[in-house]
Amino acid sequence: MKKVFLFPGQGSQFVGMAKDLFDEFQFAKDRFRQAENILGYNLAEIAFEGPDDILKQTQFTQPSIFVHSIIINDFLSSKGIFPSAVAGHSLGEFSALVSAQVLTFEDALSIVKVRAGEMAKAGNLHPGSMAAILGADENQLETICNQSGIVVPANLNAPGQVVISGEIDAVTNAISTAKEIGIRGALPLNVSGAFHSPLMTSARVPLLEALDSVNFNDAKIPVYQNVNAEPVTKADELKSNILKQLESPVRWSEIISNMSRDGFTSFLEVGPGKVLQGLNKRILAEHESSSIGTKDQLEFYV
């Protein structure tokens, strides 16, 4: 059976994440030590102790999720468990690139450091917000986003489950429009910026400089990327798409559907939480989906 690894993005964090792995495995301690050297602060302390209002800040959230995911990927690799293809939701695409041997852990984390920091800065420079829209079809979504000001689809997560992103007033008006046309599920999200929208443009140049500073290899296995939902293996294309992802929607529902189209039927979420497993059940309920992010789950899985 061809197995896919899926790597979660921002929103999957929780205080105490990866502590059980750190306490049990030397390689987990080693990863956090590497991370501290690259980031310049004690990531383990923030991930394990929080508090939540610190951990959920973008510049800390993204490295925490990335390191947690790679520790799980490391363990599975050590047991001879490898994916036949990978994908990652937004931030998770960097974990996917490490799993596919496109980037080293160190290089990927150095990029994540810049990406997270610059996205946080962009959120302060151009304040924005995001909202979940549940139950809207494509025509309704177009109506919802037809506002004065910037508001765009940001995460196309599953049928009837989309996140929009943009300027605060535009998103607020979009929520009102959604309710006016009969969409009951229109909920503002507690985020620090308008991710995957034009409001992230100021982060583009620093991110490109970070991407140019490291070596991208061709992928050993297909990486289904956020911007086009298609499998990619060539280094130059992987690099170009990871930059475009900053301001483009995450086409997650298409990614999972295209993986099924290409013969993949077993999906494993690698990292904290079960967000992607839940989305999979909405996209392809007939396929096997599971998650693995704790010591107990690791021991049960292998």
Sign of CA dihedral 104, 107, 113, 114: negative
Same domain, 106 and 11: yes
Residue 78 confidence (pLDDT): 94
Same domain, 60 and 177: no
Same domain, 153 and 68: no
Residue 288 confidence (pLDDT): 87
Mean per-residue pLDDT, 46-74:
96
Same domain, 178 and 102: no
Phi and psi at residue 224, to the nearest 5°: -85, 115
2 versus 20: the higher-pLDDT residue is 20
Our count of domains for the chain comes to 2
Same domain, 117 and 132: no
Mean per-residue pLDDT, 285-289:
86
Same domain, 104 and 245: yes
Same domain, 116 and 140: no
Mean per-residue pLDDT, 18-22:
97
Q: What angle do CA 131, 154, 99 make, to 5 degrees?
A: 120
- Maximum Cα interatomic distance, the chain, rounded to a whole number of Å: 55
Mean per-residue pLDDT, 82-94:
98
> What is the SS3 assignment for the chain?
CCEEEEECCCCCCCCCCCHHHHHHCHHHHHHHHHHHHHHCCCHHHHHHHCCHHHHCCHHHHHHHHHHHHHHHHHHHHHCCCCCCEEEECCCHHHHHHHHCCCCCHHHHHHHHHHHHHHHHHHHHHCCEEEEEEECCCHHHHHHHHCCCCCEEEEEEEECCEEEEEEEHHHHHHHHHHHHHCCCCEEEEECCCCCCCCHHHHHHHHHHHHHHHCCCCCCCCCCEECCCCCCEECCHHHHHHHHHHHHHCCECHHHHHHHHHHCCCCEEEEECCCCHHHHHHHHHCCCCEEEEECCHHHHHHHC
Last residue of a domain, one of 171, 189, 207: 189
* CATH code, 288: 3.40.366.10
Same domain, 225 and 119: yes
**Whether the predicted pLDDT of 292 surpasses 90:** yes
Same domain, 97 and 219: yes
Residue span of the structural domain in which 7 resides:
3-124+198-301
Residue 1 confidence (pLDDT): 65
**Whether the predicted pLDDT of 2 surpasses 80:** yes
Cis peptide before 51 (omega within 30 of 0): yes
Same domain, 99 and 234: yes
Judge whether 90 counts as a catalytic residue: yes
Structure token digits, residue 34: 């590497």
pLDDT in tens, 154-170: 999 999 999 999 999 99
Q: Exactly one of 99, 129, 196, 291 is catalytic; which is it?
A: 196
**Whether the predicted pLDDT of 202 surpasses 90:** yes
Q: Exactly one of 12, 64, 90, 253 is catalytic; which is it?
A: 90
Percent of the chain with pLDDT over 70: 100
Predicted model pTM:
0.96
Paired residues of 189 in beta bridges: 130
* CATH code, 178: 3.30.70.250
Q: Which residue has the tokens 């929607």?
A: 249
**Whether the predicted pLDDT of 191 surpasses 90:** no
Judge whether 68 counts as a catalytic residue: no
Same domain, 116 and 163: no
Last residue of a domain, one of 189, 216, 234: 189
As a whole number of angstroms, the distance between CA 73 and CA 177 comes to 42
As a whole number of angstroms, the distance between CA 43 and CA 37 comes to 10
Residue 299 confidence (pLDDT): 84
Quick one: which of 23, 24, 22 has its CA closest to 34? 22
Paired residues of 90 in beta bridges: none
Same domain, 263 and 120: yes
Paired residues of 86 in beta bridges: 5, 223
Quick one: which of 224, 278, 277 has its CA closest to 254? 224
Compute CA distances 90 → 9, 72, 170, 258, whole Å: 6, 18, 23, 17
Sheet-wide strand order for 231-232: 231-232, 223-224, 85-88, 3-7, 266-270, 288-292
**Whether the predicted pLDDT of 144 surpasses 80:** yes
